[in-house]
């Protein structure tokens, strides 16, 4: 079916099937509006499904000390003893106590019980009892992403509907939502017209990136559409990146008509340096209709596929948002996820209880239940 544009049947749209451009129309698949945000946040359902709310022990091997403790306690009880000492301080009272046992004699076992209980609690504390409160899914490692946006006059002056927002305004909103999903990643911003301009280097400061996104506008450089220079500037930001996953996401509504770098040449450099390139053609015009022919879909497809990325043909704001969400999910699937569980630790409480019992044991042995030979 190569070469012939393929229209999406209405039932395909309802089922949310993905259309991937070969050299023809683009790639679209409906995704949740929040993209990766739902995959990287604390989820109550994940907590319940993965045992987040259960009790467990961080170092259960500590319980191996319990049999040893029991053996020592049993040996202490069974060993031959001398005649029991009287827990009194005066000889006269001791003689009377022999006939009628006092409360001191009746409780002379209490310090021993307190001591063994305290030791058992210390072993319990060493096992680190804890309760899982929530499960968080985070990427195995961060991704370095450069968002590259066409800021030419056609982006800033073409409304997406009669009286509606211009393409650049729509792109600003969608890119801002995309950046919000990149928590833990480094993000850079590049715009291009006849020349390319880096608005922000790679940074973890997503608030600063959002400020740059909100300031996206035309006129910072001469007008034109230098796609090759836009990719080249993005590659420059990624040049010193140590990240294993480096990505350029390029958005344009036109064809390359400026600059001295051919887009395919820039794509070959990206491929040689291990950078994946995702390209998006945004073609919504007045009345919400696509304006065919203004985007070099085949060229953008070749650029993306050369580097292991994809081309997306976004004809509406919804499809533009879906394209960015799809890119994010594709990248997350490459790096995998780690599960982090936030715990409430009970070891300090148990250790404090053991210490209190030891203090009470020492106090009783030195005062009211003191033994005399």
For 22-47, the pLDDT digits (tens) are 334 333 343 434 333 343 433 333 33
Residue 43 confidence (pLDDT): 37
Q: Closest by alpha carbon to 154, among 227, 229, 249, 254? A: 254
Structure tokens at 339: 């599960």
Q: In the structure, what pLDDT confidence band is assigned to residue 147 with cuts at 50, 70 and 90?
A: very high
Residue 291 confidence (pLDDT): 56
Least confident of 44-58, 69-83, 192-206, 331-345: 44-58
Distances (CA, A) of 365 to 85, 115, 262: 13, 11, 89
Q: Are 284 and 326 in contact (CB under 8 A)?
A: no
Residue 174 pLDDT exceeds 60 = yes
For the segment 248-264, the average pLDDT, to the nearest whole number, is 93
Structure tokens at 222: 């001469």
Question: How far, in Å, CA of 306 to CA of 273, rounded?
Answer: 12
Question: How far, in Å, CA of 314 to CA of 249, rounded?
Answer: 14
Share of the chain above pLDDT 90, in %: 35
Q: Closest by alpha carbon to 20, among 285, 313, 252? A: 313
For the segment 352-370, the average pLDDT, to the nearest whole number, is 82
Question: How far, in Å, CA of 149 to CA of 233, rounded?
Answer: 12
The domains located in the chain, with CATH, are: 55-132+343-366 (no CATH), 141-335 (3.40.50.410)
Q: In the structure, what pLDDT confidence band is assigned to residue 203 with cuts at 50, 70 and 90?
A: very high
Residue 39 confidence (pLDDT): 39
Q: Are 225 and 152 in contact (CB under 8 A)?
A: yes
For the segment 200-229, the average pLDDT, to the nearest whole number, is 91
| pTM, two decimal places | 0.55
Residue 11 pLDDT exceeds 70 = no
Higher-confidence position of 289 and 132: 132
Angle formed by the axes of helices 347-366 and 110-126, nearest 10°: 160
Question: How far, in Å, CA of 281 to CA of 363, rounded?
Answer: 80
Three-state helix/strand/coil letters over the chain: CCCCCCCCCHHHHHHCCCECCCCCCCCECCCCCCHHHHCCCCEHHHHHHCCCCCEEECCHHHHHHHHHHHHHHHHHHHCCCCCCCCCCCCHHHHHHHHHCCCHHHHCCCHHHHHHHHHHHHHHHHHCCEEEEEEEEEEECCCCEEEEEEECCHHHHHCECCCCCCEHHHHHHHHHHHHHHCCCCCEEEEEEECCCEEEEEEEECCHHHHHHHHHCCCCCCCCCCCCHHHHHHHHHHHHCCCCCCCEEEEEEECCCCCCCCCCHHHHHHHHHHCCEEEEEEEECECHHHCECCCCCCHHHHHHHHHHCCCCEEEECCHHHHHHHHHHHHHHHHHHHCEEEEEEEEECHHHHHHHHHHHHHHHHHHHHCCCCCCC
Most confident of 115-129, 221-235, 281-295: 221-235
Average pLDDT across the chain, whole number: 77
């Amino acid at each position: 079916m190569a070469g012939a544009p393929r229209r999406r049947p209405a039932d395909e749209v309802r089922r949310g099937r993905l259309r991937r451009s070969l050299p023809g129309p683009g790639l679209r698949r409906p995704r949740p509006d929040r993209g990766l945000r739902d995959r990287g946040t604390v989820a109550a359902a994940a907590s319940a499904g993965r045992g987040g709310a259960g009790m467990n022990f961080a170092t259960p091997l500590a319980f191996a000390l319990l049999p040893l403790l029991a053996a020592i306690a049993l040996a202490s009880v069974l060993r031959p003893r001398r005649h029991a000492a009287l827990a009194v301080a005066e000889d006269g009272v001791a003689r009377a106590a022999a006939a009628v046992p006092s409360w001191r004699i009746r409780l002379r076992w209490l310090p021993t019980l307190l001591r063994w209980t305290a030791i058992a609690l210390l072993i319990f504390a060493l096992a680190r009892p804890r309760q899982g409160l929530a499960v968080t899914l985070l990427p195995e490692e961060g991704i370095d992403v450069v968002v590259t946006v066409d800021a030419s006059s056609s982006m800033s002056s073409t409304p997406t509907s009669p009286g509606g927002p211009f393409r650049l305004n729509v792109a600003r909103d969608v890119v801002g939502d995309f950046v919000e999903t990149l928590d833990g990643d480094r993000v850079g911003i590049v715009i291009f017209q006849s020349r390319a301009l880096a608005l922000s280097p790679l940074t973890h400061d997503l608030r600063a990136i959002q400020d740059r996104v909100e300031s996206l506008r035309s006129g910072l450089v001469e007008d034109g559409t230098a796609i090759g220079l836009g990719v080249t500037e993005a590659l420059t930001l990624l040049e010193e990146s140590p990240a294993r996953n480096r990505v350029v996401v390029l958005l344009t509504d036109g064809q390359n008509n400026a600059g001295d770098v051919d887009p395919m040449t820039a794509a070959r450099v990206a491929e040689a340096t291990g950078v994946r390139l995702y390209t998006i053609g945004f073609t919504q015009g007045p009345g919400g209709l696509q304006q065919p022919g203004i985007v070099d879909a085949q060229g953008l497809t070749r650029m993306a596929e050369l580097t292991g990325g994809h081309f997306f043909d976004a004809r509406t704001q919804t499809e533009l948002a879906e394209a960015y969400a799809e890119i994010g999910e594709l990248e997350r699937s490459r790096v995998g996820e780690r599960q982090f569980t936030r715990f409430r630790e009970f070891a300090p409480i148990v250790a404090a209880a053991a210490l209190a019992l030891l203090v009470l044991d020492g106090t009783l042995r030195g005062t009211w239940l003191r033994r005399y030979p």
